[in-house]
Structure 1
Amino acid sequence: MIFDLDGVLADSEQLWDRLRREVVAAHSGSWGPGATEAMMGMSTPEWSAYLVEQLGARATPEDIAEHVIERMAEHYTADPPILPDAVPTVRTVAERYPTAIASSAPPRIIRAFLDTTGLGEQVGTAVSSEQVGAGKPAPDVYLEAAAGLGADPARCAAVEDSASGLRAAAAAGMTVFAVPNPHFPPPEEALALTHRVLRGIARLPDALADLAEEP
């Protein structure tokens, strides 16, 4: 079982968005229509370059990324944005299936999440899109997570909240469950790629049990 992080286990999509907007404004850039949606699923090198090249932030992508990630890490330390039911759901699923995280968040933030929640022992492998060829909607991060589990991607399930994440997991050949992000809901064509749409992460264990009973 492979979990996305932002929007599935952590209520962090809005926080990423706010921090990026702040850094663009602070560096004389201008937020454009559709920028939020365009960056969802991007790896750190991709979104930091987007802020500079597309939104006009006057800094290097490396400096932009360092600033935003530092601020996000501070939030995880002071007030971790863990979603309700996320931790018990991961624990329940990990009792039955090998479990991984495949996230667009940088490794530092994934580690902060695992340290904050104490889920390090339950999550067998954690992969950031920084560590692979491309961010979501490319399937790279999901394929790498499956490899880390020693599993055939076609025998893996993934849970995602965003359009780019749903497309990435589907492109990897996985069975995809959607827990739509209420702040940035995915379009119907992305939801059509999923096995089932769930009303909350707490429904995942039962959905997996149902899947295991299907012929």
Structure 2
Amino acid sequence: MPVQAIVFDLDGVLIDSEPVWEEVRRGYVADRGGRWLPDTQDRLMGMSTEEWASYIATDLVDGVTAEEVAYQVIDQMSQRYEDGPPLLPGAEEAVRRMAEYRPLGLASSSPRALIDLVLGKLGVDGLFRATLSTEEVDRGKPAPDGYLVVAAQLEVAGRDCVAVEDSSNGLRSAHAAEMTVVAIPRPAHPPASDALALASHVAKNLDELTPELVEVIHR
């Protein structure tokens, strides 16, 4: 079966947001006298809003609820994005190029408010037929839930999709949904070797993402 859809991740694939997330959440924890652990950033990547807010409230900061954490952190992120999200080179061109080829979906760990804000700011919101935040499913990445729901919304099977990911949990999630995976690792937060091994192709940047490439690698 030919490729039926392309499903993008957002953070680390289209926008260089992981440093912003880390700065905002580190600042939140520090301002409240909390503790930032050596593995905290790696654990947070790919978590849904409910998961990372609960983790911060339970393990890092005393005297706050997960709901308070989520509201305050997302509010700060929205303010940071208002002047324009940190777009990665080639992101808009890649989205437009792939949208001319196949229907597009997006499965992101960002909250719905930030997904809509970013896609609107980039002017590509109308190019995605299905978008999903993992806060809208039972389990965040590395579980396959988000990718499976997006595939269902696009009315295709997971195995007929190509996913574009950067993080360990994202790669595991897309692979668990039986999607062919293109990895575009971020040097600041490289995925684990076992997760990267799940990708059918490892690209240096978004310029490599073409219809010709996904036709070749799709199993």
Cα distance in 2 for partners of 1:28, 1:60 equals 15
List per-residue Cα deviations over 1:14-65 (Å, max 9, x = no partner).
1111111111111221101101001110000100110111112431111111
Cross-structure match for 2:99:
94
Q: Displacement of 1:173 after TM fit?
A: 0.5
Cross-structure match for 1:33:
38
One of 24, 30, 41 as aligned partner of 2:29? 24
Size of the alignment, in residue pairs?
A: 213
The runs of 5 or more residues in structure 2 that have no matched partner are: 1-5
Cross-structure match for 1:210:
216
Percent of aligned pairs with the same amino acid: 43
Could you state the TM-score of these two structures normalised by the residue count of structure 1? 0.96
Cα distance in 1 for partners of 2:62, 2:128 equals 36
1:67 maps to 2:72:
yes
List per-residue Cα deviations over 1:91-130 (Å, max 9, x = no partner).
0001110101100000001001111011111111100000
Runs of 4+ more than 2 Å apart: 209-212
The RMSD of aligned alpha carbons is 1.2
One of 197, 201, 205 as aligned partner of 1:196? 201
Cross-structure match for 2:166:
161
Cα distance in 2 for partners of 1:79, 1:101 equals 19
8 A Cα contact 2:147 2:173, kept in partner: yes
The runs of 5 or more residues in structure 1 that have no matched partner are: none
- Structure with larger RCO (C-alpha < 8 A, sep 6+): 2
Cross-structure match for 1:138:
143
Could you state the TM-score of these two structures normalised by the residue count of structure 2? 0.94
